[in-house]
Amino acid sequence: MFAERSPFGFGYGGKILRVNLSNGKITTEPLPGKLVRDYLGGRGFAARILYDELKPGIDPMGPDNKVLIASGPLAGLFLPAGGKITFAAKSPATNSYGDSNMGGHLAAEVKYAGYDVIIIEGAAAQPVYLYINNDKVEIRDAAKYWGQGAIITEDMLKNDLGREFEIATIGPAGENKIKFACISHDFGRQAGRTGIGAVMGSKNLKAVAVKGTKSLKVADPDKLLEIGKQAFADCFKHTGWKQWVAQGTAGVTVWSNQQGSFPTRNFQSGSLKGYENISGDELVKQTLVNHKACFGCPCACGKYAKTVRNNKDYYVEGPEYETAALIGGDCAIGNMADLTYANYICDELGIDTISGGSVVAFAMECYEKGIITKKDTGGMDWKFGSIEAFDKIINMIARRQGIGNLLADGVKIASEKLGKGSEKFAMQVKGLEISGYESRNAPAMMLAYMTCDIGAHHNRAWAITHDIQVGRDIIEGKAKKVVELQHIRPIFDMVGCCRLQWVELELKLDYYPQLLKAATGLDFTWDEMLKASERVWNLTRLFLIKEHTQTFGRQFDYPPARWYEETVVNGPTKGSIISKANIDILLDEYYNVRGWDKNGKPTPEKLKELGL
C-alpha cells in the first residue's frame, strides 16, 4: 500500500501539536504511520484520537474533553477545493463523538505551519487564544476579545497580528456554552454542527490564530500538477458550473420547495408560501456584493451579501441553502432582507444557523400551542414569520437569559423539560437538530438522518435525490444506497477536500486515489479508501455505544414522532407520512447491510474485518 518513499515526507505536515491549556504545556509528536494508513486524515484522525484518549462519561464541557483540529493530506495543494479542515470533540449536543468541517483558508495554513493535527486539552483559568506562527506556539491573553462577536473578533485579531493570519473564533454563544455554538472563520465560514464552539468556550479558548510559511512537499509534483489541472478543467467545463457560481447553494431553495422537502414552520410542512422571495435569484438581485471562494475552489459558492436595517449596514456571507431552510422556511422568515439579517445575527453570536433556526422554530411552535406563554416571552408575540421575535429569541439563547437558558441546550433537552407533548415535535436525532430536508416522503433521506453518526446531518448522506430517482414511496432497498453514500461523502472530510465538486459538478471519484498517490505516495485504490471510511464509521458507532453502555439500542436511531405520527400539512407532499413499521424495516435493512446486529451494534465479525 505504501510507495517506496516515506509517506510522512509528502503531503502531510508530519506532526501533531498538543496544547494543554490547564498547565500551559506545548509539545509536538510525530504523526504515527498506522494512523495514516488506517484513517488517512481529517475526520479519520479525529475519530481515532478521541476514541483512544477520552474516557467514557466525561463532561463534554469539562477540562477532560479535547478539541481536535485536523486537516487531510490533500488540503493546501493544487487541486480542486483542498480547503477543508475538521473540528472535533465529544459533543455537548449528543454526548458522543461530534465533528464539523470548515472551508475557508485555515486548513492550508495549518498544513503550511507543519501540523496535521492540533489537540487542545484542559481549560485555561482566564480567556486565552492560541497563537501559532510556524514553530512558535503560545497561549496568549484574550481578555480584550472576550465578549466580542465572532466576526468582530476575527477582524480585531487580524488587525493585531497581521492580515496573513488565518483565524478561527467563537462568539458570545460559545463563551456561554450554548450547545449549538459554532466556530467561525474567514468572515462567514463555520464549523457549525455538534457544538464544538461551546467546547472551546468551556476551555476559555476564544480563538486559534495560525500563520504557516513552510513548504509542503509532495511525492510527485509533475503528476499532481497534471491531474490537478485536468480536474480543474473538468469542473470549469461542466454545464452546471455557471449557475453554481452565480447562486451557490442558495440555488437549491426553489428546487427543494418544488419537491416538498423544504422544512417549514418547524417541519410541519415541506414548502413555504412565497419561497421565491428567499431564492437564489433574490439573493443575487437584492443582497449580493461579491462571490467568495475557499482555498483552491473552482466554484466560489460563497455569497458575500449586504442588508440594511434601521439605517445600518450589515455584511455577511450567505444566506446559503441550509440557512434559508432552517431560518427562512422553518421560522417562516419569508423575505431576503430579514433572512440575511438573521444570518448576520447568528454568525456574529456564533450560533449554528441550522440548529439555531430549528430551536427558534421549536420555540415559536411551543408559543403557538401555549406551551411557552407571554410570561416567558416578556409579553412579545413569538409568531412564525416575525424577524423581531427571531432576533429576541436568538439573543436570549446566546446570553442564556430567561427561557433562553432552557432553549440553549437544544430542542431535545428543552422539550424534555417543557413536556406537554413538545417531545413529538422536537426535530432532532440523537440530540442534534435535523438539517434542511423534510423527509416524510423521502425514506432514504430519513434513514440517512436517523443513522448519521453525529446526529441528524445531511453532510454524511444527501440521499433525497436517490428517493426522487427511484421512487419516493419505496422503502425496501434504500438502506444500501444510504450506506454507500455514508462511506463516500466522509472521505472528503478525511482527505481535506470539499465534496461539492463531486456532488454538483460530477467530478469523477477516480481522481481522488490518483491525487492521493501523487501528493503522498500512498497507493490506495478507491475501494481501499472506502474501507478506511467504513472503519471510521464503525469507530464512531463504538464511541456512541461506549458512552451509553447501559441504554444503547435501536431507539437511538429513531426520528422524532412528528415524522411517523403526523402527515405533512400542505405543499407538494401534503399527506405524506412513514409508518413506524416502515421505519423499522429501514433500520433492519440498514443494520444488515452494515453487518450490525438487530440493536445496531457492529458484530465481532465486522469489527475484525475492519481491524477494530
Cis link prior to 443 (omega < 30° from 0)? no
Could you give the CA distance from residue 193 to residue 351 in angstroms, rounded to a whole number? 9
pTM check: above 0.75 = yes
Q: Cell triple for residue 421?
A: 407533548
pLDDT category, 337, cuts 50, 70, 90? very high
Q: Cell triple for residue 293?
A: 471562494
Farthest-apart Cα atoms in the chain, separation? 71
Helix (H, G, I), strand (E, B) or coil at 197: helix
**So what's the pLDDT on residue 600?**
98
In the β-sheet with 166-169, what is the strand arrangement from edge to edge?
Answer: 136-141, 128-133, 205-211, 166-169, 183-185, 189-191
- Count other C-beta atoms under 10 Å from residue 119's C-beta: 22
pLDDT in tens, 26-75: 999 999 999 999 999 999 999 999 999 999 999 999 999 999 999 999 99
Residue 407: pLDDT above 70? yes
pLDDT in tens, 194-243: 999 999 999 999 999 999 999 999 999 999 999 999 999 999 999 999 99
pLDDT category, 8, cuts 50, 70, 90? low
Could you give the CA distance from residue 31 to residue 119 in angstroms, rounded to a whole number? 12
**So what's the pLDDT on residue 329?**
98
Q: Residue 72 in contact with residue 84, Cβ under 8 Å?
A: yes
Average pLDDT score, the chain: 96
Could you give the CA distance from residue 87 to residue 199 in angstroms, rounded to a whole number? 11
Residue 5: pLDDT above 90? no
C-alpha to C-alpha distances, 262 to 100, 178, 181, 256, 424, nearest whole angstrom = 23, 26, 24, 5, 19
**So what's the pLDDT on residue 162?**
98
**So what's the pLDDT on residue 7?**
52
Task: Identify residue 58 by its one-letter amino acid code.
Answer: I
- Count other C-beta atoms under 10 Å from residue 173's C-beta: 32
DSSP string over 353-394: HHHHHHHHHHHHHHHHTTSS-HHHHTT----TT-HHHHHHHH
Pairing relationship of beta strands 67-71 and 117-121 according to DSSP bridges? antiparallel
pLDDT in tens, 354-366: 999 999 999 999 9
Beta bridge partners of 16: 29, 117
pLDDT in tens, 155-189: 999 999 999 999 999 999 999 999 999 999 999 99
pLDDT in tens, 260-318: 999 999 999 999 999 999 999 999 999 999 999 999 999 999 999 999 999 999 999 99
pLDDT category, 4, cuts 50, 70, 90? very low
Percent of the chain clearing pLDDT 70 (strictly above): 99
pLDDT in tens, 14-33: 999 999 999 999 999 999 99
pLDDT in tens, 101-127: 999 999 999 999 999 999 999 999 999
Say how many Å lie between the first and final Cα of the chain, rounded: 19
Residue 9: pLDDT above 90? no
DSSP string over 314-353: EEEE---HHHIIIIIITTT--SHHHHHHHHHHHHHHTB-H
